[in-house]
Structure 1
Amino acid sequence: SGDSISDAELAAREATVGPDDLCDMLFTSGTTGYPKGVMYGHQQCLQAIDAWATRVGIREHDRILVIPPFFHAFGYRSGAIVSLMRGAVLMPHLTYDAGEILKRVAEEKISVIPGPPAIFQGMLQHPDLAKFDTSSLRLGVTGGAVVPSILIRRMREELGFAGVVNGYGLTECGGYGTMCLASDPDEVIANTAGKAAPGVEVRIMGDDGHFLPDGKPGEVVIRGYIVMKGYFNDPKSTAKTIDPEGWLHTGDIGYFDSDGNLRIEDRLKDMYITGGFNCYPAEIERILSQHPAIGIVAVIGVADERLGEVGKAYVVLRPGTSATEKDIIDWSRANMANYKCPRSVEIRPSLPTSPQGKVLKNILREEVPQDA
């Protein structure tokens, strides 16, 4: 029915849309509370996507397999809209299944896959990985959760990605924040979330509201054109998230290294305290991921009568490997500070995940008895 609309009528309708008008409204995941509608304008949406695509290296005619759903910033902006803007081929994938993804890569010559680490971990975990032709893969774009350095290496060596980039962002900033360059060294890509896009400020703020120097961890705050217009019908939450100076408070802990790259430590809410020591699950998960038998790991804090809280690790083993709870705890004691070591390990065939591929730690926490 689009043919019934004249060019003049189309132009007239387009002329009524301004750069600051509401473009879309995505909802937060709800893993930290009730989902909130994030209002985003037309210009900031297109500008943020264009800056991201330039930084990571999306090309015309790339074949982009989009696994995250279109109600999520990764699938919508870094999949559907970027394909339209860059002239790439958008290839949606309805449900997450590692075998089906590997089959599509081989049969349809996929070149780019954006998504959280769980997507790539699942591909690497597949027992028949070696039987699939993944030579068409050029660029893997990840972020949104802990990205262990070993995962970056395995994506290159075992899946065949020529380039892997890591970044940091949140729905309140359009899904963006900082990003590595495709040309950055492997060490930078594996261990940092890169630098802020042009026109975007990212700083580290202490509890007292003052900015902290490089190397000192604190809350990540963001200011610039990528910050949302606000939460839909929720001025109270908007004011709580965006301060009077325009800084968006992310609730994430991070710091800048000596080269100016952002390193994310963890969510403020995920931190637990063991015998007076702050423990960041993301850091512990990165270390545990280096264990030769661990494919996927999630760490939470559980109640402990003596220490207040201690770590519990949920582990999915790599195909063809074996390890016991004692093996993993012994390895932990040899590879990290004692207070960081998980006091218990539960080995499972899989972990609960959201449609976006994030491990749902709230479900794991609910399983732990209150008097643990």
Structure 2
Amino acid sequence: MTTTIPALMRDAAARYGDRAALASQVDGSISYRELDRQADLIAGALIADGARPGDRAAIWVPNMWEWIAAAIGIQRAAGVMVPLNTRLKGGEVADIIRRGKIARLFTIGQFLGRYYPDMLESEVMPGLRRRIVLRATPEEIGPDEIRWEEFVAMAQSTSDAALAEREAMVKPDTLADMMFTSGTTGAPKAAIFDHRRSLGGGRAWVDISRQTADDRYCVFGPFSHNASYKAGWVAGLMSGSTVYWPEAYDAVTILDLVANNRISVMPAPPTVFQEVLAHPNWRDWDLSSYRFLSTGATVVPIELMKRLQAETSIAEISTGYGMTECCGSATHTRPGDPMERIAYTVGTAIPGTEIRIAGPDGRSLGTGESGEVLIRDDKLLIEYLDDPGATHATLDADGWLHSGDVGCLDADGYLKLTDRLKDMYIVGGFNVYPAEIEKQMTGLPGIHQSAIIGVPDNRLGEVGHAFIVRSAGSTISSEEIIAWSKANLANYKVPRGITFLDAMPINSTGKIIKFALKELLKSA
């Protein structure tokens, strides 16, 4: 069993050779052998550039083969890889570079209508030694930048012996990456992992999906996110499957990707499958290759799951639960579970993982009692970067990860998520969990998506406010929604205000950004 990500790449190149490791709709495919060679070039260039073991290098690049070559190359040079989402703006990236003491930045050139390095033009980053720009022309390169091609050429100065010596320094407990959390509830924190932990995340996903070299695996979302990195291309290297990714996230792009490439495994948020089934002609695409669908969220609409089961030929539809801090998966449903269990729970603990529910005093709660979800296994984060307070609040002395999620376990150990602790609000002394209301609202005709937040109220302390995206052609009104809520919800759960949106603010993994809704309401 390989014990580091660079060693995994070596092993995969030896085993699968010229088989396609990655396949892009834009660039075509790259083989396992060539990907390994490109990672060598990056590692060699870093060594030639003076990179030391433990140096941190960030990747601010959209999904492409160079992203993975850079990541493995950084780690092969005994460095720490820091993934950055391309949705981040210059100030946010500069803050991470300063906080993370990052020495080198791999960045895309032109993307989404702008030259990305320009966003850092006015930022002060004294520790940043090198900016490597991908897919840029010589005319675009600024005075503090170097093109990818020129940087890679520096590898000629590094001997094979020097590269092998550096790679030999990489051990299972060598730091592999710093993962900045998605920040749907506030400023992101940097979770730190070693190679053993990060490989554990990939191994867990391969076991869940029963992935093999025969699979065509579509990772969903950016490589900067855990699900597309550790449970994504790392899992692809483990299984020998070919990894794909969407170039856009609309229904037609997803349907084309699955049908044209015979995708067999694709996890994605519920919103993706809602969009696909909302397309009037989705049945025109051949989805017969699709054998394993996985989704997960606090709210997984039961009607969506029933439609997927009844109207598609997907062999297995499943749900699961995890987070960056545990390298991905913690629970998952099992083959053969009934649809109600798949929709209303996120499964049982995966092998090697323990789940318990704790009350405010830390005491373990019984079957059916709601409290904070605690996770314990051998792939939890080591710590948060320079934040012992957050580390202590998240990891307790007994090794339990405090998730911040609220849930309960049934008699068979299946976990039902209720909400995020931070999303809970109190109406006149009653705890309200928005996800509970959102789940019920998905059954109301005319509502495509809903999101509930708590807002200040002079009399009750807080009350609920609902953000609604109507279904196509729907004219459902605020009055109708309030009337339905009064008829179906306890009075303290009834939203006092309604805002209609064309689309929810979501992050790159499909999660609704609740604090963006709060800011939207403040500015209204």
TM-score greater than 0.5 by the shorter chain: yes
Distance 1:85 1:9, change over 3 A: farther
Which residue of 2 is the match for residue 259 of structure 1? 412
Bigger radius of gyration among the two: 2
Matched, 1:330 2:483: yes
C-alpha contact (below 8 Å) 2:209/2:265 kept by paired residues: no
Aligned residue-pair number: 371
SS at match of 1:172: helix
> Residues 7 and 163 from structure 1, CA distance in 2 versus in 1: closer, same or farther, beyond 3 angstroms?
farther
1:232 corresponds in structure 2 to 385
Aligned with residue 457 of structure 2, among 300, 304, 307: 304
Give me the whole-angstrom Cα distance separating, in 2, the residues matched to 1:64 and 1:332: 41
Aligned to 2:236: 83
Structure 1 residues 345 and 135: alpha-carbon distance in aligned structure 2, compared to 1, 3 A threshold:
farther
Q: Is the 8 A contact 1:67 1:95 kept in 2?
A: no
Residue pair 2:298, 2:418 contacting (<8 A) in 1 also? no
1:100 is matched with which residue?
253
SS at match of 1:40: strand
* Contact 1:223/1:247, CA 8 A, preserved across alignment: yes
Question: Whole-Å Cα distance in 2 between the matches of residues 140 and 353 of structure 1?
Answer: 21
Q: Which residue of 1 aligns with 2:362?
A: 209
The equivalent position to 2:223 in structure 1, one of 70, 84, 102, is 70
Name the structure 2 match of 1:34.
187
Three-state SS of the structure 1 residue aligned to 2:328 is: coil
Q: Determine if the alignment matches structure 1 residue 109 to structure 2 residue 262.
A: yes
How far 1:257 moved relative to its partner?
1.0
Alpha-carbon distance in structure 2 between the residues aligned to 1:226 and 1:149: 31
What CA distance in whole angstroms lies between the structure 2 residues aligned with 1:175 and 1:343?
36
What aligned pairs does 1:6-17 form with structure 2 within 5 A after superposition? 13-17=166-170
Correspondence for 1:339: 492
Distance 1:183 1:110 in 2: 22
Corresponding letter in the other structure for 2:173: D
Q: Quick one: structure 1 residues 145 and 11, their matched pair in 2 at CA, closer, same or farther if it must change by over 3 Å?
A: farther
Tell me which residue corresponds to 2:373: 220
1:110 and 1:231 mapped to 2: Cα distance? Answer: 36
Name the CA distance, whole Å, in 2 between partners of 1:292 and 1:58: 37
Give the aligned residue type for 2:436: E
Q: Does 1:177 align with 2:330?
A: yes
Correspondent of 1:200 among 336, 340, 353: 353
1:156 to 2:303 alignment: no
The sequence identity of aligned pairs, in percent, is 46
For the structure 1 residues 116 and 185, does the alpha-carbon distance in structure 2 shift closer, same or farther, using more than 3 Å as the test?
same
2:394 matched to 1:241?
Answer: yes
The runs of 5 or more residues in structure 1 that have no matched partner are none
Deviation at 1:85, TM superposition (A): 0.9
Q: CA deviation at 1:301?
A: 1.4
SS in 2 for 1:226: coil
**Residue 280, structure 1, aligned to residue 433, structure 2:** yes
Establish whether residue 18 from structure 1 lines up as the match of residue 180 from structure 2: no
Equivalence for 1:289: 442
TM-score, structure 2 normalization: 0.66
Deviation at 1:303, TM superposition (A): 2.4
Contact kept in structure 2, 1:126 and 1:319, CA below 8 Å: no
The answer (yes or no) to whether the contact 2:184–2:512 under 8 Å persists in 1 is: no
Q: Distance in 1 between matches of 2:159 and 2:410?
A: 55
Q: What amino acid is aligned across from residue 496 of structure 2 in structure 1?
A: R
Shift of 1:148: 2.0
- Which residue of structure 2 aligns with residue 349 of structure 1? 502
Would you say 1:123 and 2:276 are equivalent positions?
Answer: yes
Q: Distance in 1 between matches of 2:349 and 2:400?
A: 14
Partner of 2:70: none
Structure 1 position 9, deviation (Å): 7.3
Deviations 1:46-89 (A, max 9, x none): 23322332123333322222221111011112221111111211
Query: Which residue of the partner structure matches residue 134 of structure 1?
Result: 287
CA 1:29–1:324 in 2, change beyond 3 Å: closer, same or farther? same
Whose RCO is larger (CA < 8 A, sep 6+)? 1
Q: Is the 8 A contact 2:437 2:452 kept in 1?
A: yes
